[in-house]
Amino acid sequence: MTAVRILLVDDHPVVREGYQRLLDRLPEFAVAGEAADAAEAYKRYREIQPDLTIMDLSIPGAGGVEAIRHIRQWDRSARVLVVSIHTRAVFVRQAFQAGAAGYVSKSSGPAELVQAAKEVARGRRWIGDDIARELALSSVATEADALDRLSVREFTVLRMLLAGSEVAEVAEKLCISPKTVRNCHYAIKAKLGARTDLDLARTAIQAGLG
């Protein structure tokens, strides 16, 4: 049986090494490449065209959600498993909207990561137990619905602006014009009913983005 070729995307070398040691022990997996940021993830994906990408969301540059969207835009059959410290429902829903097929938290044990990788590699979906509980709880919490109105691109722009990035920096990392970023910023505020950037930040924090 041919081994599933995996691309590991995480900005921490120790984390990538841990994943590689875990997965390379199993005959059904073979780590084919690594990446530490969003731009490198897209570049490496196109170079090696892996069967499965294991992606962290908190990576430098445009971030993991945008990296998933970019990869899936180039390859609609790409299979992406998110392994993230972020367990809030807004991150999970945005990751799936971008094209992820699975999501587990970094607090999950090795056995769950392996099982999730197997399922996603087979073309199935996987949601970790703790993630499923968070999604269930969020379904009855109206304040968590606000950010669901945003597109993947808008979600990425909002995260970058809240992190302190200037418009020009956001534009460079997303390969769009500053005018597009400003228009996106305006659209985000309109969708979330925020009159000022302070209102916008408050809404994002209440919805779990902070």
Within 10 angstroms of residue 101's Cβ, the number of other Cβ atoms is: 25
Mapped onto helix, strand or coil, the DSSP state of residue 154 is: helix
What DSSP character marks residue 126?
E
Mapped onto helix, strand or coil, the DSSP state of residue 27 is: coil
Strand partners, 4: 29
Please tell me the distance from the alpha carbon of residue 131 to that of residue 136, in angstroms, as a whole number: 9
What pLDDT, on the 0 to 100 scale, is given for residue 153?
Answer: 93
Please tell me the distance from the alpha carbon of residue 186 to that of residue 173, in angstroms, as a whole number: 19
Mapped onto helix, strand or coil, the DSSP state of residue 9 is: strand
Strand partners, 35: 9
- Tens-digit pLDDT profile for the chain (210 aa)? 689 999 999 999 999 999 999 999 999 999 999 999 999 999 999 999 999 999 999 999 999 999 999 999 999 999 999 999 999 888 999 999 999 999 999 999 999 999 999 999 999 999 999 999 888 877 665 555 678 889 999 999 999 999 899 999 999 999 999 999 999 999 999 998 899 999 998 888 877 776
Q: What is the pTM of this model?
A: 0.89
Structure tokens at 64: 């993991």
Domain boundaries, the chain: 4-137, 143-206
Please tell me the distance from the alpha carbon of residue 191 to that of residue 98, in angstroms, as a whole number: 19
What pLDDT, on the 0 to 100 scale, is given for residue 93?
Answer: 92
Please tell me the distance from the alpha carbon of residue 198 to that of residue 137, in angstroms, as a whole number: 27
Please tell me the distance from the alpha carbon of residue 176 to that of residue 160, in angstroms, as a whole number: 14
Please tell me the distance from the alpha carbon of residue 184 to that of residue 187, in angstroms, as a whole number: 5
The domains spanning 4-137 and 143-206 adopt the same CATH topology? no
Pick the CATH number of 4-137 from 3.40.50.2300, 3.30.1330.10, 1.10.150.20, 2.40.110.10: 3.40.50.2300
Mapped onto helix, strand or coil, the DSSP state of residue 33 is: strand
Please tell me the distance from the alpha carbon of residue 205 to that of residue 189, in angstroms, as a whole number: 14
What pLDDT, on the 0 to 100 scale, is given for residue 171?
Answer: 95
Pick the CATH number of 143-206 from 1.10.10.10, 3.10.450.230, 1.10.1490.10, 3.40.50.1820: 1.10.10.10
Structure tokens at 206: 């209440």
Within 10 angstroms of residue 122's Cβ, the number of other Cβ atoms is: 12
Please, are residues 37 and 59 in contact by the beta-carbon 8 Å criterion? yes
Helix H segments across 56-128?
Answer: 64-74, 89-98, 110-121
